[in-house]
């Protein structure tokens, strides 16, 4: 298994532009999570899905952020319009609902908004 795959690895965009981050979870995992890493707050949960259904989006900072999971093998996190304060590393992770075990994280997307 190739693990959780995120793309792109790096994204540099101008303020006001739309940004789309992509994630392919591990086959067979039925939970998917989007996290954002910042120095001040560490890893913050933005949203998570169970069986492609959004369960908790309370961490989504503003209406500028949206996430979708159209099928079990793909999810997107979109920021529109982007702002400099959105600059961070965004991680996608997946897991199997049945256990209390840990997530498998992707390598992250480093987003820089200038």
Other Cβ atoms closer than 10 A to 54: 14
Determine, following the binding rule CB under 8 A, whether residue 28 of this chain makes contact with other proteins.
no
DSSP-derived pairing of the beta strands 109-113 and 10-13: parallel
What is the three-class DSSP state of 86? helix
Q: Which CB sits closer to other proteins, 33 or 65? A: 33
Q: Which stretch binds other proteins (CB under 8 A): 12-20, 62-70, 77-85, 103-111?
A: 103-111
Tokens 């996430």 found at? 67
Interface stretch with other proteins, choices 15-23, 67-75, 79-87, 106-114 (CB under 8 A) = 106-114
Residue closer to other proteins by CB (options 41, 63) is 41
Cα angle 7, 74, 104 (rounded to 5 degrees) comes to: 70
- How distant, in Å, are the alpha carbons of 68, 83, 90, 112 from that of 55? 12, 26, 19, 28
103 touches other proteins (CB under 8 A): yes
Query: What is the SS3 assignment for 84?
Result: helix
Among 7, 13, 20, 31, binds other proteins (CB under 8 A): 31
Sites for other proteins among residues 46-85 (CB under 8 A): 48, 50, 56
* Residues contributing to the site for other proteins (CB under 8 A): 4, 31, 33, 35, 39-45, 48, 50, 56, 91, 93, 95, 97, 100-108
């Amino acid at each position: 298994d190739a693990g959780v795959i995120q793309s792109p690895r790096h994204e540099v965009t101008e303020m006001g532009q739309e940004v789309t981050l992509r994630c392919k979870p591990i086959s067979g995992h039925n939970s998917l999570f989007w996290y954002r890493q910042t120095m001040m707050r560490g890893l913050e949960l933005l949203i998570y899905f169970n069986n492609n259904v959004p369960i908790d989006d309370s961490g989504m900072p503003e209406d500028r952020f949206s996430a979708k999971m159209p099928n079990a093998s793909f999810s997107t996190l979109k920021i529109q319009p982007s702002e400099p304060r959105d600059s961070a590393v965004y991680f996608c992770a997946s897991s199997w609902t049945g256990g209390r075990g840990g997530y498998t994280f992707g390598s992250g997307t480093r987003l820089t908004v200038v």
